[in-house]
């Protein structure tokens, strides 16, 4: 909440939190309070779980460095969003604000039941933002083999919308409420926010709907005045459903975004907030779970959380390293303590590594290649994580030279040797 006592002006921005096992969401707005333009960004990060807030000068010049930042952290333990999906989430938001999001040609729709919306194609509708309540549209879309239904409704008297998404097979809907808190532009352009620049509101989140993760974005835009809705695949960023609702107040505005200072300012604030909310270097380095081929020089093969006696979570990651040819495998255990921002990386001693590899039916660090390790990653990680003892205060950890009960590093010949014998 922002309050201006001299004029009794009040502005509130709401962000639902703790929605699902991986709560990652944000909302960014440019508003004018008592004649003063402001940029306000709220975001939630899943791990370490925290709410981040940023308030900065929203003047069109963008030259002021006045801002206020703060974060509220707690001991909630949630799944970390993989680095690749985090990058996709940020990239889609930036492209939505800059008008560069790639999509197939658009088609004009009359609203109502749109039926199956082809992936990548944008459906465009027109209505009066100042008109009465109405059902804007409903549509079906799919991501992989999962099918979903979408519904969009408008409240009377302004740009206040409710978006609902649910599996076609039935289940609990995910609801997003949108409301433009500033006056609408009178001309469909960039004015109407008290300083001639215009209000812009962007929101985005990762949400699991019916067992499938979806990226859901909404943009209450100016130049032209419109609501833009995007549902995308978090693994690739490809659009599954795109809608544009244009304000049809006699202006005949085109859906293509025009240059807009307010949109540029929101983009800058969003980038600044996203950079501040990112975890430490080690945590972000292992956040993506690796990528590319299975014989990468460095790859995260396992990630888990441990809860300290103080109920604070720490992140443990197991990194598999190898030479460029995939041979000479090494392991490294990384610890990240979000409450203290402490980061620690320790290499697994070769005797312990060889014990674990042999217990998994592999050779030793010199004869086992990266592909073989990656195929047995689950078993290797179980043995190595069993050897990790985290200190009670989260300041570090120790590696015990002790395999899981029932495991042996000598009785079973390596799998490669068995295959050669056959």
Give me the tens of pLDDT residue by residue for the chain, a chain 422 residues long: 899 999 999 988 999 998 888 899 999 999 888 888 999 999 999 877 889 999 998 887 656 668 899 888 876 777 778 888 888 999 999 999 998 875 555 667 667 788 888 887 888 998 888 888 999 999 999 998 999 999 999 998 788 999 999 999 887 778 888 876 544 444 333 344 555 556 799 999 999 998 899 999 999 998 888 999 999 999 888 999 999 999 886 556 788 888 888 899 999 999 988 877 665 544 444 444 444 444 456 788 898 889 999 888 888 989 888 865 667 788 999 998 877 778 888 999 999 999 999 999 998 888 888 889 989 999 999 999 999 999 999 889 999 988 876 555 443 444 444 444 44
Q: Which tokens is 367 given?
A: 């004869």
What pLDDT does residue 359 have?
Answer: 92
- Residue whose C-alpha is closest to residue 240's, from 154, 176, 147, 178: 147
Backbone angles phi, psi at 418, to 5 degrees: -60, -45
What pLDDT does residue 397 have?
Answer: 93
What pLDDT does residue 103 have?
Answer: 57
What pLDDT does residue 279 have?
Answer: 58
For residues 208 and 199, what is the distance between their CA atoms, to the nearest angstrom? 30
What pLDDT does residue 26 have?
Answer: 96
For residues 98 and 95, what is the distance between their CA atoms, to the nearest angstrom? 5
What pLDDT does residue 113 have?
Answer: 85
What pLDDT does residue 136 have?
Answer: 93
Cα 171 to its chain centre, rounded Å, is 23
Question: 345 - beta bridge partners?
Answer: 334
What pLDDT does residue 188 have?
Answer: 38
For residues 408 and 139, what is the distance between their CA atoms, to the nearest angstrom? 57
Assign 216 to helix, strand or coil: strand
Q: What is the CA radius of gyration of the chain?
A: 26
In the block, tokens 């019916």 appear at: 210
What pLDDT does residue 293 have?
Answer: 45
- Residue whose C-alpha is closest to residue 281's, from 231, 245, 315: 315
- Residue whose C-alpha is closest to residue 207's, from 251, 271, 163: 163
For residues 371 and 332, what is the distance between their CA atoms, to the nearest angstrom? 17
pTM check: above 0.75:
no
Assign 266 to helix, strand or coil: helix
For residues 27 and 269, what is the distance between their CA atoms, to the nearest angstrom? 11
For residues 97 and 219, what is the distance between their CA atoms, to the nearest angstrom? 8
């Amino acid at each position: 909440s922002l309050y201006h006592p001299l004029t009794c002006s009040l502005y509130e921005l709401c962000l639902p939190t703790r929605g699902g096992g991986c709560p990652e969401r944000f909302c960014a707005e440019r508003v004018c309070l008592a004649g003063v333009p402001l940029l306000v960004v709220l975001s939630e990060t899943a791990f370490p779980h925290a709410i981040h807030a940023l308030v900065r000068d929203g003047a069109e010049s963008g030259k002021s460095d006045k801002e206020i930042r703060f974060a509220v952290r707690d001991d909630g333990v949630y799944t970390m969003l993989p680095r690749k999906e985090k990058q996709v989430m940020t990239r889609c938001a930036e492209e939505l604000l800059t008008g560069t999001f790639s999509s197939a040609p658009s088609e004009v729709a009359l609203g109502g039941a749109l039926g199956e919306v082809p992936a990548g194609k944008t459906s465009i509708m027109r209505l009066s933002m100042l008109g009465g309540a109405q059902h804007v549209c409903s549509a079906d879309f799919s991501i992989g083999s999962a099918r979903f239904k979408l519904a969009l409704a408008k409240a009377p008297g302004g740009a206040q919308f409710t978006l609902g998404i649910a599996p076609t097979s039935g289940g609990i809907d995910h609801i997003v409420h949108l409301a433009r808190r500033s006056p609408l532009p009178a001309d469909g352009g960039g004015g109407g926010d008290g300083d001639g620049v215009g209000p812009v509101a962007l929101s985005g989140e990762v949400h699991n709907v019916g067992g499938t993760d979806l990226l859901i974005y909404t943009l209450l835009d100016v130049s032209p005045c419109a609501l833009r809705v995007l549902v995308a695949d978090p693994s690739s960023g490809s659009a599954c459903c795109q809608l544009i609702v244009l304000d049809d107040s006699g202006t005949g505005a085109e859906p293509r975004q025009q240059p807009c200072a307010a949109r540029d300012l929101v983009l800058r604030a969003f980038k600044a907030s996203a950079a501040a909310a990112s975890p430490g270097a080690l945590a972000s380095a292992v956040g993506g779970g690796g990528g590319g081929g299975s014989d990468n020089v460095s790859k995260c093969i396992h990630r888990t959380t441990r809860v300290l006696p103080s109920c604070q979570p720490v992140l443990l990651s197991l990194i598999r390293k190898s030479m460029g040819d995939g041979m000479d495998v090494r392991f490294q255990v990384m610890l990240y303590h979000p409450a203290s921002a402490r980061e620690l990386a320790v290499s697994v001693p070769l005797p312990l590594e060889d014990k674990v590899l042999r217990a998994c039916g592999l050779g030793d660090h010199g004869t086992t290649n990266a592909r073989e390790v990656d195929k047995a990653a689950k078993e290797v990680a179980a043995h190595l994580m069993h050897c990790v003892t985290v200190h009670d205060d989260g300041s570090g950890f120790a590696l015990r030279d002790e395999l899981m009960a029932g495991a042996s590093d000598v009785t079973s010949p390596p799998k490669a040797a068995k295959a050669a014998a056959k």
